[in-house]
Structure 1
């Protein structure tokens, strides 16, 4: 699944672009932002960003410059009503430049190209407020999460951290990056699932995570879909 950001101060334009993206047939997760400030406040990165140029507050050009300070790989696709900002687009290494009104087929072609370039760039940095301070952790470095004693235990390749979050909120946030909840107290990273036998999930570090009987069939289906996308 490809995580996409749409940043545009026009609600109608965001709605229209979302519709085009959802109709491409590609598996995408879309988050909308009404300003550059709102996009920049989020610590997470997005492989693909559709960015308007002429917005209230900071412009799309300045937003892109600030984005580039924390993410050099994001595919920034400018979407604007004007055709005279192309030279600025080159200055931030924009992936594409689209002039409104948008065309569904053009969106599909651009997204396909962006996905092809993004295939080898699957690890996304995610921000977490842990009990020991703020940390950025790569999505591929997370093994699983466990809800315990009203806190969430985040198990990573570098060790474990504790979060004061609900396990449901974490599952919803991490789902676009290949995570799933096999049990009411656990969220696992499909990338680190090494074996599935009965109702036991073996992770890459040897840990065993329980699979509830109620979620067994859906979990197996979702894992199969994820594996097919990796081929």
Structure 2
């Protein structure tokens, strides 16, 4: 499993200790971990992108404190896991306001740290099975899989279509199938994957999903009909 960590602390010793603990834990669990360290929250927030799976965030920092930084992060990134690092446990109570996973108290011991890491991995595994991270030209989007109506391939680009908008990334339909395997998607022709659970109609050789009508190939029609029946509890 690939996991991207950010460690944000204006205390270099604490920053290095957390980074070392991450490396140790990753080695024990055979994780492919990347660690990016920041000397203050302002550095993290500058052009922030939702590319970290877990952020270890010190609460008491001089320029921007961890609670304020977490609130800014949550405006654009509801998915990243935030763990506060603090000298005073009572300060971490405010973490519930920004949906922090947990906190560790300085000086951090490895046993406590490993417990929080195991908790973070469990949440990551649940979240990864229910969301997909799409890196478009302009941003990184974390999209709930059940909100995707269909996927279209055209000229080596994949467009994930949802009621909230469309997201286009480079790739193949096979790669999209693999990324969406926790959902209920099927190919309806050479160019489209459709979310069986979001189909609202099938007439002739045309599926209605969301506000769109998509053609179903003859070879796929019976398979699609069976999948719809199973999804509806008919079969």
Give TM-score, length-normalised by structure 2.
Answer: 0.56
Q: 1:36 aligns with which of 4, 18, 41?
A: 41
Alignment-derived partner of residue 156 in structure 1: 158
State the 4+ residue runs in structure 1 displaced beyond 6 angstroms.
159-162
Question: Does the aligned pair in 1 maintain the 2:50–2:76 contact within 8 Å?
Answer: no
RMSD value, Cα = 3.4
The whole-number CA distance in structure 1 between the counterparts of 2:156 and 2:87 is: 44
Alignment-derived partner of residue 50 in structure 1: 56
- The change in CA–CA distance for 1:85 and 1:136 in structure 2 (over 3 A counts) is same
Structure-to-structure mapping, 1:50-69, within 5 angstroms: 50-69=56-75
Cα displacement (A) at 1:193: 8.7
Question: Does the aligned pair in 1 maintain the 2:54–2:120 contact within 8 Å?
Answer: yes
The whole-number CA distance in structure 2 between the counterparts of 1:74 and 1:52 is: 16
Cα displacement (A) at 1:161: 6.8
Q: Going by fraction, where is helix more abundant, 1 or 2? A: 2
Question: Does the aligned pair in 1 maintain the 2:84–2:104 contact within 8 Å?
Answer: yes
Gapped regions of structure 1 (runs ≥ 5)? 142-152, 163-186, 195-203, 207-231
The whole-number CA distance in structure 2 between the counterparts of 1:124 and 1:12 is: 35
Q: Deviations over 1:182-202 (max 9, x none)?
A: xxxxx99x95597xxxxxxxx
Cα displacement (A) at 1:65: 0.9
- Per the alignment, in what secondary structure is the counterpart of residue 85 of structure 1? helix
- Per the alignment, in what secondary structure is the counterpart of residue 121 of structure 1? helix
Is 1:17 matched up with 2:11?
no
The whole-number CA distance in structure 2 between the counterparts of 1:73 and 1:35 is: 21
Is 1:7 matched up with 2:8?
yes
- Per the alignment, in what secondary structure is the counterpart of residue 84 of structure 1? helix
- Per the alignment, in what secondary structure is the counterpart of residue 126 of structure 2? coil
Give TM-score, length-normalised by structure 1.
Answer: 0.57
Q: 2:99 aligns with which of 69, 81, 93?
A: 93
Higher relative contact order (CA 8 A, sep 6+): 1
The whole-number CA distance in structure 2 between the counterparts of 1:125 and 1:30 is: 19
Cα displacement (A) at 1:5: 1.2
Q: Deviations over 1:55-112 (max 9, x none)?
A: 1211001001111111223221111122330331222222112110011121111111
The whole-number CA distance in structure 2 between the counterparts of 1:75 and 1:6 is: 12
Gapped regions of structure 2 (runs ≥ 5)? 149-154, 161-166, 179-186, 191-235
The whole-number CA distance in structure 1 between the counterparts of 2:79 and 2:139 is: 20
- The change in CA–CA distance for 1:19 and 1:65 in structure 2 (over 3 A counts) is same
